Structure 1
Amino acid sequence: MKRKIYTILLALMCFTVGEVFAQGFTLSGRVTDASSGEALIGVNVAVPSLNRGSVTDVNGRYSINLSPGSYQLVTTYIGYKRVTQSVNITNADVSLDIQLEADVVGLDQVVVLGYGEVSRREVTGAIASVRGEEIQFAPVNTIENAMQGRLAGVHIQQNNGKLGQGIQMRVRGSSSVSASNQPLYVVDGVPIVMDDFSLSSAQTNPLSQFNFNDVESIQVLKDASAAAIYGSRAANGVVLITTKSGRSGRTNFNYTYQFGTSEPTNKVEMLNAKEYVEYSRQAAANTDAILGSGTVYQNYWDGELDYMSQYTNWRGCLQSLEQCAVNTNWVDAAFQDAGMYSHDLSASGGNDRTTFFVSGHLSDQDGILIKDRFQRISTRIKLDHKANDRISMGMNISAGRSFHERVSNDNAFSTPIQLIALPPISPIFYPEEDALPNYVPSLEYNNETVYANGLLHAANSKYNVTTMRSTGTGYLAYQLHPTLQFRSEVSADIMTGNDDQWYGQKTARTISAAALGGYASSSWQQSASYSTNQYFNFATNTMEGHALTADFGMSYQYND
């Protein structure tokens, strides 16, 4: 027995000594700027696989203890390019100096400004921008949601938590008390229609048909210089959305499938049936004791409990929760586990004369509230052709359709979240009378709850909003001179919406118009915007380090 113990102790000592020696090797070095050679302070040098790292000191030096093996060393610093390299640790310390190159991509990024493009380093106005790859495949259903929190000075707020509904965007705050504060949206040079097609107080989102996975870049013009291009329409700022274009080379196909689930968190914990009966009857007894009214209020309240429970055995709750005939969790009834999926397919390519980009999108998402669903289907075709050295032309056509199964307004008794106001002894369905006081649910929803039964309303109503948008633009450009180009653009944006509502007679408690056998309405609306731009663009380098650009022409827009 002693020999076994000694053997185990010896093995443990060898293991411990081995570990000490294994971690005794040091990877160290100095991090400097590649161009100037100056030491960089505060650089993160890490081995992600071990969750271990170091930060450079005032001399740019770092040190990490590692055991023998092969590792990926990652070096990151703000304003510099990320460096990843392999490191092998054998049986000795390793010295590795690292040079970082400045990341100037942001300054060379092309920024869209109305009728032209410039490098970001040459921009003097206030512009916030986001690249398409930063928001691509974000788990949201509108482009404003994808932009949220990514643009300085731009505040984006969703009006409520329901899918596909109105979103407020404010550029540097509100500019008017009574008029609209929404910015002007321009997609590929086309000012688009932003009308609300909802008949209720809950606004729809006019951009919900737009597939933000097609976005190349987004620029927000925030200062008064935007008015020089778009006039008074730019008073609240301008959101310029540029979609992807094809590039010369072989045809590339890209398919992406996403799926996910969502569920409510931190739901309100309400009283169960036993707690509700005990506390409410105690309150009635306290009232009788204060007023000296014997058992008047207690008897009255017992009668109310009979009615609320539809004469099922609520008195069993006085014994235990298991003996309650009904114990409804109305919070759970208002919510649902929601799923979502999306398909994106695109193809792009071309040659030195013609390029193309074609995409298709399909998505379907359920909200966490019952009767909340959002679907979208869209497609886009973009062609650019260079006929010769002087003439180029192109077109950009997109179509989208969104379908929204809507929830009742927040201030309506029929909205699902109002269900939490119902007592847990109230059943969802009427009980079978021949089974009373036991509870055997029938097939008919209980319409005698204290507040309206939102589940009955959901089962006997329909509120759908369908919106379709078609946008097309075509252009012809002629290079008159190496410094002067004429460009002609024609575009149209047509949006059609259908607000479709139906309420059965059983919803008369929440919809008074349904009392005479039911109520239905179907409203169709259409808005169209037609525009044309005819302008000259002049660009030249006047001297070394200086450039002159100018645009002059006309723009006409007609809204129908």
Structure 2
Amino acid sequence: MGTAKVSINVSNVSVLEALDQCLKGLPLAYIIDDKNIIISKRLGQVSKQPRTRQITGTVANQQNQPLQGATVSVKGAAIVVTTDKNGNFQIGNLPNEEVTLVVTMIGYNTREIQVRVSVRDVTISLDEQVSNLDEVVVVGYGTQRRRDLTGAVSSVSAKQIQDIPTPSLDGALTAKMPGVQVSQTTGAPGGGISVKIRGTGSIGAGNEPLYVVDGFPITASYDQNSNPLNSLNTNDVSSIEVLKDASATAIYGSRGSNGVVIITTKSGRSGKMKIDLDMYTGIQQTTKYMDMMNSQEYASYIIDSRNNAWIDAGGNPSDPNSKRSAIYQILPVLQDPEALKQNTDWQREIFRTAPTQNAQVTFSGGNDKINYMTSAGYYKQEGIIINSNFSRYAFRVNLGAKASDKFKVGLNLAPTYSIRNPVSAEGHFSSGAVVLSALMMPPFLPVYNEDLHHRPRSGQRLQ
């Protein structure tokens, strides 16, 4: 191929548009790999006929060995293929002339590369993923490098949980660690969460792990109505280590029989004062409402059921209430279903769209002698059932000072004030469970009396 001089004059255009103009009419193609532009000879002749948008290529490692089973997907489109035994792949029916390929494989770092559809046989190299064996983890008697650990320990960093909108720290552990089962036992705001490490360890005794915050064990009852971890702000957490086996939990004795969760809060670092402001808001809604009978359907159901039961007892369905026993009588208001105009869906009367909001400000800093971290936060969660909510006011001061090379002093102060207003929502209606009561409430009853006051919850009698 001979040489040709190309001159263009462009402004306020993208690099891709400039390259398209440079190579227009030439048997050349290009790809953008990271920040490098690679121009190569286009296979085949330049044709003005419509062509299929497709890309072929090979995925290899740094030693240029083909990788079988690598996943190649098109970013922003539902197109995914895998490489064959020679590392080759082919992607067709591309949505645009220029796409971003995302290549992933276990044991290798994910790579993204921009490619034009005119490119053939693009080679993509993946870097091996090296695990950080020098990571320091907290265990019961201090800290150790992960390479030196012999026990079963899992870790979660602050970065992994900072964007999870949960009032409780144990809720932030959901699907974060192998062998740690987190289940929500109640939907009430601020309610308890069940955490099991390596399954159920006891039938009669408790199965909750021991929580240790900055070296201090938390001992309290964990149930649907009590969760002491609600007092801990998740934004103040630096790391969470879960000790699973007997060797890792031995220092805690019988208290660690169900595993130990070690929580380390943040501290200041040397340097200028750093101010972090974290705020978010959101809403919670009921995902699905049950289909219920309207007033006419409910009245017909009551009439048919009472008449059928009265017939089984030897009566006549045309008998008035005066001839029937109390359990077979039909309320006068239900005897004409077509006359019922009121249709109340009691589910929608007790549920609501509930807002959630959180705000926290953190000051941290220090020098080679002293470091500090101070935070103040406010969390408010309204329940999806009216009159239920949870709010928390949290304040924390972590102060550390180096008096000498062998002597350090520190202060961890974390006053918290929380308010929880639960509603009896779960269980049998006889215990006041509002959800089941709403499902059983007759739809012909209005929410308000004629004087615009709520109907009484108990003691009401239909005439």
Q: TM-score, normalised by structure 2?
A: 0.78
Unaligned runs of 5+ in 2: 1-45
Query: What residue in structure 1 maps to residue 113 of structure 2?
Result: 85
Counterpart amino acid of 2:349? A
1:285–1:297: 8 Å Cα contact kept in structure 2?
no
Shift of 1:305: 2.3
Query: What residue in structure 1 maps to residue 286 of structure 2?
Result: 264
Shift of 1:83: 1.7
> What do residues 434-481 of structure 1 show as CA deviations (whole Å, max 9, x unaligned)?
xxxxxxx55553644479xxxxxxxxxxxxxxxxxxxxxxxxxxxxxx
Q: In angstroms, what is the RMSD of aligned CA positions?
A: 3.1
Q: Distance in 1 between matches of 2:120 and 2:363?
A: 48
Query: What residue in structure 2 maps to residue 550 of structure 1?
Result: none
Counterpart amino acid of 2:74? V
Counterpart amino acid of 2:199? G
Counterpart amino acid of 2:342? V
* Residues 1:48 and 2:75 are matched in the alignment: yes
* Residues 1:74 and 2:90 are matched in the alignment: no
Among residues 264, 282, 305, which one is paired with 2:304 in the alignment? 282
Query: What residue in structure 2 maps to residue 317 of structure 1?
Result: 337
Q: Which moved more, 1:415-424 or 1:174-183?
A: 174-183
Counterpart mapping for 1:235-384 below 5 A: 235-290=257-312, 291-293=314-316, 295-296=318-319, 304-306=330-332, 314=334, 317-318=337-338, 323-384=339-400
1:288–1:298: 8 Å Cα contact kept in structure 2?
no
2:395–2:416: 8 Å Cα contact kept in structure 1?
yes
Shift of 1:50: 4.1
Counterpart mapping for 1:130-141 below 5 A: 130-141=156-167
Q: Distance in 2 between matches of 1:122 and 1:75?
A: 33
Counterpart mapping for 1:213-252 below 5 A: 213-252=235-274
Query: What residue in structure 2 maps to residue 494 of structure 1?
Result: none
Q: Distance in 2 between matches of 1:56 and 1:349?
A: 49
Counterpart mapping for 1:184-195 below 5 A: 184-195=210-221
Shift of 1:144: 1.3
Query: Given the superposition, is the C-alpha separation of residues 118 and 337 from structure 1 closer, same or farther in structure 2, using an over 3 Å criterion?
Result: same
Counterpart amino acid of 2:385? L
* Residues 1:30 and 2:30 are matched in the alignment: no
Among residues 147, 150, 153, which one is paired with 2:179 in the alignment? 153
Query: What residue in structure 1 maps to residue 433 of structure 2?
Result: 415
Among residues 152, 158, 167, which one is paired with 2:193 in the alignment? 167
Shift of 1:431: 4.6
Query: Given the superposition, is the C-alpha separation of residues 108 and 297 from structure 1 closer, same or farther in structure 2, using an over 3 Å criterion?
Result: farther
2:306–2:329: 8 Å Cα contact kept in structure 1?
no
Counterpart amino acid of 2:113? Q
Partner SS, residue 219 of structure 2: coil
Q: Distance in 1 between matches of 2:113 and 2:88?
A: 17
> What do residues 228-260 of structure 1 show as CA deviations (whole Å, max 9, x unaligned)?
322222122111111223333343332222111
> What do residues 494-522 of structure 1 show as CA deviations (whole Å, max 9, x unaligned)?
xxxxxxxxxxxxxxxxxxxxxxxxxxxxx
2:274–2:363: 8 Å Cα contact kept in structure 1?
yes
* Residues 1:61 and 2:84 are matched in the alignment: no
Decide which structure has greater helix share. Answer: 1
1:252–1:347: 8 Å Cα contact kept in structure 2?
yes
* Residues 1:102 and 2:128 are matched in the alignment: yes
Partner SS, residue 93 of structure 1: coil
Decide which structure has greater strand share. Answer: 1
1:23–1:67: 8 Å Cα contact kept in structure 2?
no
Q: Distance in 2 between matches of 1:50 and 1:261?
A: 29
Q: Distance in 2 between matches of 1:391 and 1:246?
A: 18
Shift of 1:289: 4.2
Shift of 1:303: 6.3
Counterpart mapping for 1:489-504 below 5 A: none
Partner SS, residue 163 of structure 1: coil
Counterpart mapping for 1:507-546 below 5 A: none
2:68–2:85: 8 Å Cα contact kept in structure 1?
yes
1:288–1:295: 8 Å Cα contact kept in structure 2?
no
Partner SS, residue 286 of structure 2: coil
Partner SS, residue 118 of structure 1: strand
Partner SS, residue 445 of structure 1: coil
Q: Which moved more, 1:233-242 or 1:51-60?
A: 51-60
Query: Given the superposition, is the C-alpha separation of residues 450 and 255 from structure 1 closer, same or farther in structure 2, using an over 3 Å criterion?
Result: farther
Query: Given the superposition, is the C-alpha separation of residues 73 and 287 from structure 1 closer, same or farther in structure 2, using an over 3 Å criterion?
Result: closer
- Count of residue pairs brought into register by the alignment: 409
Shift of 1:210: 0.9
Partner SS, residue 339 of structure 1: strand
Shift of 1:325: 4.3
Partner SS, residue 393 of structure 1: strand
* Residues 1:206 and 2:228 are matched in the alignment: yes
Q: TM-score, normalised by structure 1?
A: 0.66
Q: Distance in 1 between matches of 2:158 and 2:79?
A: 33
> What do residues 76-132 of structure 1 show as CA deviations (whole Å, max 9, x unaligned)?
222221222344x38x42443222222224534321111222222222111222222
1:132–1:215: 8 Å Cα contact kept in structure 2?
yes
